[in-house]
Amino acid sequence: MGRIGIDVGGTFTDAVIVSDDGLVRIAKVRSTPERIEAGFMDGLRSLLERAGAAAADVDYLAHGSTVATNAIVQRRLARTGLITNEGFRDVLAIGTQMRRHVYDLWTPDPEPIVPRELCLPVKGRIGASGEEVEPLDEAGVRAAARRLGEEGVAAVAVMLLFSFLNPAHEDRVGEILAEELPGVAVSLSCRVVPEYREYVRASTTAMNASLLPLLGEYLAAVGDEVQGEGVRVPLHLMQTNGGVASAGRARELPIGLAASGPAAGVIGGARLADLVGEADVLTFDMGGTTADIGLVLGGLPQLRFSGEAAGMPINLPQIDVLCIGAGGGSIARVDEFGSLRVGPESAGAVPGPAAYGRGGEDATVTDAHVVLGTLAADTQLAGRVPLQRDLAVRAVERAVGGPLGLAAEPAAAAILRIANAQMANALRVMSIARGHDPRRFALVAIGGAGPMHACALADELGIPRVVVPRHPGVAAALGLLATDIRHDLRRSWLAPTAQISPERLDAELERLESEARALLEPSADATRGFDLAFELDMRYRGQAYNLTVPLAARPATAATIAAAERAFAEQHRLLYDYTPTVTETEIVTLRLRALARIPAIDWAAGERDPVAAAAGTRRVWAGGWASWRTVARDSLAPGDALGPETVVEQEDTTVVVPAGWSGRTGAAGTLVLAREGESA
């Protein structure tokens, strides 16, 4: 019957179904923060009703969520303990010599997610070559487990030295914890992040452990609801590494869901921009709560192998995406110094912007659009909520206009300028700060609010073109259906390249491959084949940081190792513009990217004929009131032109084409907007 993607955001839940004939149907409903799975099911039921289908007919179901993200940001984490080696009790508190503000002696570092009294050392040691130096003190482990039980922990992280080389001690600690603390979630570093550097390994494992109870409960609730509805296919979850995984795997590794929804948006934006020939793009996904910025080069979303959560380093492959608190629900206020601030606080789904008429009194970005006319009073957003301009005007005048001595319209315009300045700065961080000139990129506007701000942001950065997909408001949900099943496996394996035996290296790679095939097997029915890609983290001898380069498929040979070494030298020269005098290299970590390819979607297959709809006009304030043209998105045919000062309306978003911009309709209904003097 079709494939379904559902993305749960802080304000709206976006859902999309792609039928076997290629027809795309969407639904956008209000999220339910008090019971998130209810919003998920509202989206699913709405889709099935629109498609006239039964739950049993669903062929594939993928889910993106901000549950893990919000828990981390709000520090709504389970009470967690840590078991580590004797002498390393303070590994989380000490961290590394890296400091956020080197010369700031007063700002405290974020509190570790595991307090010192819950970090318990045990005797036993694995050596740097994987040998047992000191036997594990099992009695000490049992005593530590009883102590943690008395402290009421809901999860335990285990990080023992060199467990990535020999996991025997960690595995045994896990067995003892299961015996002593039944029902308590346990996370072992040898399974979460089998890499060297004990601080990052400890922080990643502790964060994973602290999410296990919450995500386990949520995924169990969603699974029960889905099964109760009659869906027979397994649920897949979007991961931060740019792939999806089965719900069972996600339940074991919830830290992999830390930026689930934003990652899906970047992938969806990249796939949809490719329809009109744009391979180098900045994705701009503005929803009700946040704006998420991604970088796509050559059609590929950019990855990084480390990040941060709750002020602590996280060592996991992840889509490079920057999230800031700027969305349609972001609250505007004037602070005690008379400065206008917008966000990061959001009115969320409940009560929402003042214009919703659901009890919200704060002025938001959405209210500013209603005041200025870019959102018409008769527009109905997700959940068929009508907008009330009088409430929006009252909120903007009270929160901003009064304190600044401005009328409602100039005050609303000021709100949008501040919000745009914040989002433009985030775009600069993702482009200029990473060495890329934004003027050679296109900006892909997605999310319910993205197309309303995109042209203003493009003007700010000199970006020549804006791409608006046919269904931008549900682009993250569409991205779920364009995402392959993916598992990233790795294992630190430090050795001088010149001393490596190809046979020994191949044996290690075979271990990774066996583990990957076991993870991919449960998803075999939903895919069209497996792809395995090996990589090496390498560095010059004496360096502290490394680069990742490809390694040809197994079996490993002297020739493939030499090719990887040459690739490393070339990448190092391109990035740093020099080659050190010490040219001996080392292999640091072995990596395997395992993909199960899902069937491709022909986005143009289900295109419908344009629906006849008369163009109208609307009063819009842009420094003064003027009459703008309004167009229904469903009425646009391929090649249709759009002039400046036009508002394009559709179910899931509103597209604003300001003065100095024009556009045309391209492949699969995509709008391509261009600045004056540029070709669309």
Domain annotation covers residue 516 = yes
Q: Which residue has the tokens 């003065």?
A: 659
State yes or no: pLDDT of 460 exceeds 80.
Answer: yes
Token pair in block for residue 282: 């900045």
Q: Please list, in sequence order, all residues whose beta carbon lies within 8 angstroms of the beta carbon of residue 32, skipping any fewer than 6 positions away.
A: 13, 38, 39, 42, 349
Mark whether 401 and 495 lie in a shared domain: no
Q: How do beta strands 485-496 and 530-540 pair? A: unpaired
State yes or no: pLDDT of 629 exceeds 70.
Answer: yes
Q: Which residue has the tokens 């349609």?
A: 328
pLDDT of 612 reads 61
Mean pLDDT of 542-557: 90
pLDDT of 294 reads 94
Q: Are 12 and 27 in contact (CB under 8 A)?
A: no
Mean pLDDT of 542-565: 91
Q: Please list, in sequence order, all residues whose beta carbon lies within 8 angstroms of the beta carbon of residue 529, skipping any fewer than 6 positions away.
A: 596, 597
What is the C-alpha separation between 629 and 626, in angstroms, rounded?
10
Domain annotation covers residue 470 = no
pLDDT of 607 reads 59
Which carries the bigger pLDDT value, residue 445 or residue 321? 445
Peptide bond into 550 cis (omega under 30): no
280-289, 375-384, 493-502, 552-561: the lowest-pLDDT one? 375-384
Domain annotation covers residue 412 = yes
Mean pLDDT of 15-34: 81
Domain annotation covers residue 401 = yes
The letter for the amino acid at 511 is R
Mark whether 89 and 210 lie in a shared domain: yes
Mean pLDDT of 132-155: 96
State yes or no: pLDDT of 609 exceeds 70.
Answer: no
Q: pLDDT tens digits for 96-135?
A: 777 767 787 787 777 888 999 999 999 999 999 899 999 9
pLDDT of 519 reads 86
pLDDT of 91 reads 92
CA distances from 542 to 162, 486, 538 (A): 20, 33, 11
Domain annotation covers residue 40 = no
Mean pLDDT of 184-202: 93
Q: pLDDT tens digits for 323-374?
A: 888 889 999 999 999 999 998 888 877 788 999 888 889 999 999 999 999 9
Of the CA atoms within 13 Å of residue 169, those in its CB half-sphere come to: 30
Q: pTM, whole model, 2 decimals?
A: 0.84
Domain boundary among 217, 235, 253: 217
Q: pLDDT tens digits for 261-284?
A: 788 889 989 999 998 999 999 999
State yes or no: pLDDT of 545 exceeds 90.
Answer: no
For the chain, percent of residues with pLDDT exceeding 70: 95
Sign of CA dihedral 173, 178, 183, 186: positive
Domain annotation covers residue 183 = yes
Mark whether 125 and 209 lie in a shared domain: yes
Domain boundary among 404, 420, 436: 420
Mark whether 403 and 506 lie in a shared domain: no
Mean pLDDT of 418-441: 95
Which carries the bigger pLDDT value, residue 104 or residue 498? 498
Task: Give Cα 225 to chain centroid, integer Å.
Answer: 24
Domain annotation covers residue 604 = no
Mark whether 100 and 211 lie in a shared domain: yes
Domain boundary among 420, 452, 477: 420
Q: What are the phi and psi torsion angles at 153 (to 5°)?
A: -70, 150
> What is the span of the domain harbouring residue 409?
339-420
Mark whether 192 and 115 lie in a shared domain: yes
Q: Please list, in sequence order, all residues whose beta carbon lies within 8 angstroms of the beta carbon of residue 663, skipping any fewer than 6 positions away.
A: 466, 641, 642, 657, 671, 672, 673, 674, 680
Domain count, the chain: 3
Domain annotation covers residue 166 = yes
pLDDT of 380 reads 62
Mark whether 412 and 527 lie in a shared domain: no
State yes or no: pLDDT of 29 exceeds 60.
Answer: yes
- 609: DSSP letter: P
Mark whether 84 and 211 lie in a shared domain: yes
82-86, 365-369, 496-500, 519-523: the lowest-pLDDT one? 519-523
pLDDT of 406 reads 95
For the chain, percent of residues with pLDDT exceeding 90: 54
Mark whether 405 and 519 lie in a shared domain: no
State yes or no: pLDDT of 674 exceeds 90.
Answer: yes
- 380: DSSP letter: E
Q: pLDDT tens digits for 223-254?
A: 889 888 898 888 999 988 888 888 888 888 99
Hey, which bits of 104-214 come out as E strands? 119-122, 125-126, 132-134, 155-159, 185-188
